[in-house]
Amino acid sequence: MIRYIIFCGYAGLKGSLKIIESRYSELGRYFNKIYLESVVSHIQDRGYYGRYLSPINNDRPDREPVNISDIFAGFSDNIAEVGEGGILKSVYELAKLKRCGFEIEIKKINTIQICIEVCEYFGINIYRLLSEGKLITAEDPIYTCKLLENRGIATSIIGHLSDGLDKLIVDKEVIEYVNRPTQDEIFKVVKYEREDIIGN
């Protein structure tokens, strides 16, 4: 049975926010400031995971405040965190832990346009940038995604685990091997101590 990989969240969103906060004056000369602030607004309104629900600012009075931990509690045996090093590091570590390989499609990973543009401005890889999200492996990804999306979580089926050890990004007919994770891309832009960046 194929084990599909589901990404919950948005690639590089947390790192992009920290970069915008740190380099706001510089970015404000290049981007519209309202556009930059849309990243902050997204997190306030939806959190790092959500389409419309947020553990930070839930504006739906008909519902109880959202607890991300409760939403993902039922997936405890098939879940991994996406954090430092971005989604590519997390998928790599997941496959390593399960002693298998993977095939993923980069274009299927959820992103936000302003985050892509900030990464392009600094010449960094959004898929290797600090994120806050989760990976879930599932045999029935459609059912799992519908279940999570009904609770406000942004999901995308990005690929699957494989029997071999090759760790691959597949884009149409082009195949790229994923190398061992390196330092998070945020450190190319934000020159603070690691704990000050990752720990907040």
Residue given tokens 């590091």 in the structure block? 89
CATH number at residue 164: 3.90.650.10
Tokens of 186: 């945020």
Q: Considering the domain boundaries, does residue 120 fall inside one?
A: yes
- pLDDT digits over 128-165, tens only? 999 999 999 999 999 999 999 988 899 999 999 999 99
65 falls within a domain? yes
Tell me how many domains the chain contains: 1
For the entire predicted model, the pTM comes to 0.89
Instruction: Using the structure block, give the residue that is written with the tokens 């971005």.
Output: 86
Q: Cβ contacts of residue 52 below 8 Å, gap of 6+?
A: 46, 60, 152
Q: For residue 110, what are the domain limits? A: 3-188
Q: What is the pLDDT of residues 70-102, one digit of tens each?
A: 889 888 789 999 999 999 999 999 999 999 999
The pLDDT value recorded for residue 122 is 97
Please report whether residue 197 resides in a domain.
no
